[in-house]
Chains A and B, each alone.
Chain A
Amino acid sequence: MEYLLQQLINGVTLGAIYGLIALGYTMVYGVLGMINFAHGEIYMIGAFLSLMGFALLGALGLPVAVVILLVLLAAMIITGAWGWSLERLAYRPLRGSPRLVPLISAIGMSIFLQNLVQLLQGARVKTMPPMINGGVEVMQRASDGFTVTISYTQILLWVVTVVLVSIFAYLIQNTSLGRAQRAVSQDAVMAEYLGINSNRTISITFIIAAMLAAVAGCMVMLYYGVVDFYIGFLAGMKAFTAAVLGGIGSLPGALLGGLLIGLIESLWSAYFSIEYKDVVAFIVLFLVLLIKPSGFFGRPSVEKV
């Protein structure tokens, strides 16, 4: 019981990170109808930039809260610029091509970014000492003293996720951006005729997606403190699974899917086998696509005749 509770807490934390990345997949899919295969790499870049931020600011002796806030902001802005450039250079020239063309370009970009970071920052794993120590003890098992704790980092991660997701959700639902996104996703050409700058809408979508990925990257640095150039691949695949599970194109679906994938992964590692924990996400992806490709909240797609 106590052990289960601890796994649930860890699973929700992991799920929040997947959810943040999954939002990026789902938003881009919602607007462009393409899988931004390089999104995992954007998350990896966000994690690297956060680590640089912590390394630079950590030495100045500022209060921890200020450091985290500054790093988060800087990482979001710079990663946002990476996201914008990615779209501008690798996807915009391909507007209106057959479906597989942007997908191949995205795979190319994913390989490119991964290897670029490897060349620039080296292949070795980078680690960071924890910034925040300690946590809240929730309960203790009488028999052997196993304590269920929520670390302060976990609490911070939940709060940041909820606050930032709420802000972006508000932006998307209640400003003209959301309307423009829906219009572009329905018919980009018609949206242009109606005075919507579809290129700008798509760019903003990529920037927001990258910013959320940067938040995930920053949180991962605080939570695990480990990064290398390869983390984007697995995290990206799992987050994509989350987006599909929730129903691709649906924002609440992405968060719910992320939470579920996080929970499944942490419970699976705890109770079955830690070796196969990465396999589980792929199997979930198989099953969802085969049984209910529209996920929880997605619209079923009918083959157009």
Chain B
Amino acid sequence: MNRMLRELGLTAMIAAVVIVPMFGLHLDSENGFLEISTNWFQALTFLAAALALRATVLLSHKFPRPKIKHQAFRVFVDNPEWSVWAGRVMIVIAIALPFLPFVDRRLLDVATLILTYVAMGWGLSIMVGMVGLLDLGYAAFYAIGAYAFSLLAVDYGWSFWAALPVVIAVCCLGALIVGGPILRLRGDYFAIVTLGFAEIVRLTLINWQSLTHGPDGVTGIPRPSVFGMATFNMGEEGLPQFSDWLGIGHDPMQRLIFMYLLLLGFALLVMLLIGWLRRSTFGLAFEAIREDEIAAQAMGINRPVMKLFAYVMAAIIAGIAGAFFAARQGFVSPESFNPMESFIILSIVVLGGMGSRLGVVIAAMVLIGLPELFREFAQYRMLAFGLALVLIMIWRPQGLLAHRRPTQTLTVDKD
């Protein structure tokens, strides 16, 4: 008991030094004059909260509680039957979603955005989950894809479907050029350098005005046509309007639904690709590299080529997602691709469990959907992401890094 009080006293002292100035004082520089105001109530509240937290932790050390909740969680997440069924139900819901009566423009728009992030989360999980390389600059390829399409469409009049192969080629080439040298780096250096790469891309987008339209971004990006058969763009020559083409009444929802279904199709393709990769010999090679690079090489795995392969595939997925993003928004600017964007995608992968396809979907719904639907959360969003990353690393890193289901099992047949 005495020891606990001493610990609490120490915590109180340090917490006071940490919390009181930053939480109790508020700076404001109103038209050049620095003003400082106090908010002692806020400081004391947080101080009390910190102490209460510390006391709870100290008490919980004294009375270890049974880990029932944790077990229940694991049963849900790790049970193959469960997650397969949950996945199937989700796919059915996702396909039916745009046609449900209560779905309005806003919800559909958010759902489309979520799908973009789900696809990117799966793409990044090739790098982070399978190969075990922390890519902090994933938004770079998202940006390259978005800009490649936007510039081709706006400045050169290409259609979405004609530009898509170019987007893929540009991302592939970019990943080969950048990935070749940097994939040789050690894990933590690789992470920082990818972050630097994303910053270089973003700063170039801002400053290379003659190519990229500069900090104001690209506007007037056309919507994708219905595979070259009909269009949603008003006044576009050559193609019939979608509603006329089908002979139905005009409804702006049609365009949103089409966009949603496009993204859904893309996400499902990525899902199949990830599933195939995991079960294929490439999946084994990726995982072997993650588990032990040296031993992987000793088993005949070409480390540099396999890493590059994963990097290129992840880049292409991000690039296509970027093109869809640009087409959906009709507008892109360099600020859509700041480092936070990479961190958001990383959070989705980490929170979703680095190998789990279903986990990424749930994480994307929580991390993207909630703040979009409840605007009042939006300003706390990044705060919560940051905290969540730390807490997950403390509580369940094994669940994310190593808690995996075998992709191959040997069936024992008695003969």
Contact = CB atoms under 8 A, between A and B. Distances in A.
Interface of A: 34-35, 45, 48-49, 51-52, 54-56, 77-78, 81-82, 84-85, 89-90, 93-94, 97-105, 107-117, 119-122, 124-129, 233, 237, 240, 244, 273, 275-276, 278-279, 282-283, 285-286, 289-290, 293, 301, 303-305
B68 interface: no
A82 B18 contact: yes
A275 B18 contact: no
A293 B132 contact: no
Contacts of B185: 289-290, 293
Nearest to A97: B397
Interface in B358-398: 379-380, 382-383, 385-390, 393-394, 397
A203 B177 CA distance: 41
Contacts of B331: none
Contacts of A55: 27, 34-36
Given A100-B132, A275-B203, 7 more contacts: A35-B191, A35-B192, A51-B27, A97-B397, A100-B187, A111-B386, A285-B192
B200 to A, nearest CB: 5
Contacts of B14: 81, 84-85
Q: Which of B191, B197, B380, B390 has the most CB of A within 10 A?
A: B390
Contacts of A48: 22, 27
B134 interface: yes
A124 B308 CA distance: 41
A104 B192 contact: no
A112 B350 contact: no
Interface of B: 14-15, 17-18, 21-23, 25-29, 32, 34-36, 132, 134, 136, 181-182, 184-189, 191-193, 195-197, 199-200, 203-204, 206-207, 294, 339-340, 343, 346, 350, 379-380, 382-383, 385-390, 393-394, 397, 401
B329 to A, nearest CB: 23
A97 B393 CA distance: 9
Contacts of A124: 28-29
A17 B273 CA distance: 48
B295 to A, nearest CB: 10
A121 B27 contact: yes
Nearest to A234: B199
A208 to B, nearest CB: 16
Contacts of A54: 34
A301 B34 contact: no
A168 B350 CA distance: 38
Contacts of A51: 27, 34
B350 A127 contact: no
A116 B383 contact: yes
Contacts of A279: 199-200, 203-204
Contacts of A108: 385-390, 393
Contacts of B387: 108, 112
A109 B206 CA distance: 28
Contacts of A84: 14
A77 B22 CA distance: 13
A275 B215 CA distance: 12
Contacts, number: 177
Nearest 4 pairs between A and B by C-beta? A108-B389, A112-B386, A111-B386, A282-B196
Nearest to A281: B196
Contact of A98 (B136, B339, B346, B401): B401
A285 B196 contact: yes
Nearest to B199: A282
Majority DSSP secondary structure for residues of A touching B: helix
Majority DSSP secondary structure for residues of B touching A: helix
Contact of A293 (B189, B204, B380): B189
B386 A49 contact: no
30 contacts: A34-B188, A51-B34, A55-B36, A82-B18, A97-B393, A101-B397, A102-B393, A104-B346, A104-B389, A109-B386, A109-B390, A111-B385, A111-B386, A112-B387, A114-B382, A115-B382, A115-B383, A117-B22, A119-B380, A119-B383, A122-B27, A124-B28, A275-B203, A278-B199, A282-B197, A282-B199, A285-B193, A289-B182, A293-B186, A301-B186
B394 A93 contact: yes
Contacts of B203: 275-276, 278-279
A105 B394 contact: yes
A52 B386 contact: no
Q: Which of A81, A129, A244 has the most CB of B within 10 A?
A: A81
A78 B339 contact: no
A260 B203 CA distance: 22
A127 B193 contact: no
Nearest to B209: A275
A101 B401 contact: yes
B303 to A, nearest CB: 11
Contacts of B34: 51, 54-55, 126-129
Nearest to A56: B36
B196 A94 contact: no
B200 A101 contact: no
Contacts of B390: 89-90, 105, 108-109, 112
A278 B198 CA distance: 12
B189 A283 contact: no
B363 to A, nearest CB: 14
A23 B34 CA distance: 31
A101 B199 CA distance: 23
Nearest to B402: A98
Given A112-B387, A282-B199, A126 B36 contact: no
Q: Which of B22, B195, B294 has the most CB of A within 10 A?
A: B22
Nearest to A122: B28
Contacts of B397: 94, 97-98, 101
B379 A286 contact: no
Contacts of B23: 120
